[in-house]
Structure 1
Amino acid sequence: MNNEGRHDRSADDAPTGRPADGVSAVRPARRPPRPESATGRSGGPGARPLPPDDRRTSVLPPVRDEVPPHLRDPIDVVKAALDGTPAKKAPATKAAAPPAPPRRPGGRSKAAPRPEGRRGRVNWRWVRRGIVAAAIAMIVLPIITFAMAYMIVEVPRPGDIRTNQVSTILASDGSELAKIVPPEGNRIDVTIDQIPVQVRNAVMAAEDRDFYSNPGFSITGFLRAIKNNLFGGDLQGGSTITQQYVKNALVGSERSGLGGLLRKAKELVISTKMAGQWPKDEVLQSYLNIIYFGRGSYGVAAASKAYFDKRVEDLTVAEGALLAALIQQPSGLDPAVDPEGARERWNWVLDGMVEIGALTPQE
């Protein structure tokens, strides 16, 4: 006992009491009691002897929360170290996640750089598959749609399509008394034999130079029309004579919006099927009897009267080439309206007749 009345004991003799929560207390092997004097521990007279204290413990430091998880020892290793047995080899595990990025003074954490993982990569295999699937859809679906429409659509037979014509009232001696003109204009139907061959060739040179060989729809003509509209070029259109006839006689001439797309699709299907069912001469004859030439004249016979005041059978090569030049712009290319434009288009038609072999360069 010291001068303050307290017992002097070593740290090993201090009772620990109940260990704190979360702190492991390890009790070592019991040691033999130290010899005590008869007078007590301190040797003072009359001191009460103290029993030997075997509650010696060692206090382990607590596991603090601020220690990163990837730096903590596995529990199996700790137990093995305390028990004095070799620890089992820990199985291989994935690398621990890196610590959180430091926070800025304002309280917002600095964003860590995005790792180069699977999310940052482009799966080119699926991109290629998508491109192939889109290409197949763009090619296969139109073909299937065209085939179904081709089977369903009905094409009228030659002679079934009737057009209004000028009615001429004659006297008993053959003199003309009156004419009744239909609302859509002057029209007089003629047969293919009444139309001179060079007039037919001029119309084909102006509107469809491979008329007798195409299937009613010209892919090259369609692509040529797109190129000419974008970059400039000759004035030949993209529709064949068969398509123009179908447009004027059956499906109308709507050009814009959804109606224009549907009209073009029907025109394509009907003209392709008509080219397989109608003779080419029948298509050309019907076309020349229905097409508009300007000056209120529908058909080549009415145009011959309106421009040259003669029968269609009497037309010359130059006159037939002029009528063929008017089909593209009947009112705008009228020689009485635009003589220079009419001459330019007329020369272009004559050059086309040389190209298809209907005329020689000298002619």
Structure 2
Amino acid sequence: MTWNLHGENHPSRSTIQEQIDFLKEYHQDTDLFLFQAVDYTKKDESEDFSHFQQIKSHFEERDYYTTDNRDWNRQLLNLDVQPYHNINSPFRRCKITASRWPIDREPLDLRNNGNGKPRHLNYFYASFLTGPFVANVYLHNEEITDNEGLEVWNAGIIHGSGWKEEKIKALETVYSRIYLQNQQTDKKIILGGDFNAPWKETKTDEGVEIHPHSPDAKHLNKPFYGNPYRYQAENGGTKQFPFNQRWRNAESYIFDSEKSDWDMKDAYWHANDSLELNSTEDHTHVVNNGNPPNKRIDHLLADDHFNIKSCEIQNGIEVEANGFSNGKTPSDHAPVKATLEIEA
């Protein structure tokens, strides 16, 4: 299950309790949890009140294992070294991954020491390295090595309104890093979180059409964003690659199976049991005065090691489970739950 807990709104005691009550009622049997936007700054940790402490304690009391990136974000928030000296909002929240099995976080590394194989999180394009938070899950009778094991990617891709290129770099990092894993190792990979993408998903007679966001003209006219990226053309020359196309590609490669070359599948569209409605109908987020106003920007994906049995967005459309809707709003995002079966 993945859920953005809306920590930027500094959840009150009652809101935190609503979130925990929801987990108790609808997720007693869930094995893995990926939480984004968990607030750790509102109150002194010693008072055992903070959003972070309450969510973490809920799972520890149930004998789940947890890992988080609070310490990384806290250090970056307080860092006065450029270019992080004036960045606040992205580092005021953190991620928590909870597991029924033992779990630890994967260390980050900008260097490649893998002798031709991916090792640790190298080849990062993103400046906010805590955007994708990766953990190893120690399943019974399975060893974690550079080539095998289960990796769970908890992604919180920053929205594009204030960090346009950073959003693209984060999406490119997730795609390129998992692509390497798929191609060069036998690791099992689950990817979930808040991607702030795509703009819209539409079911057609031929399948699914992915509509990525596209920056408007005011962004393209800025000198920095107008700089072309270049790629190799078939004739051996180079061709201009404008910023808006790079943006659209970054979103499409994650969600459009017609364009991507990795082994990841969107659980919503590949599950044996799913509503399979347009994202404007079965959505995870409501954007006030948005176009479109309803979006599905929270997702779960799994690679070819898994049979995707079901996928449900818990927004109250299909069942009473209501992570958000009219009235009580434990979060401005709805949870996404999938049932995955490891194939023999």
TM-score by length of 2: 0.22
Structure with the larger strand share: 2
Larger RCO (CA within 8 A; separation ≥ 6): 2
Q: Larger Cα Rg: Structure 1 or Structure 2?
A: 1
Structure with the larger helix share: 1
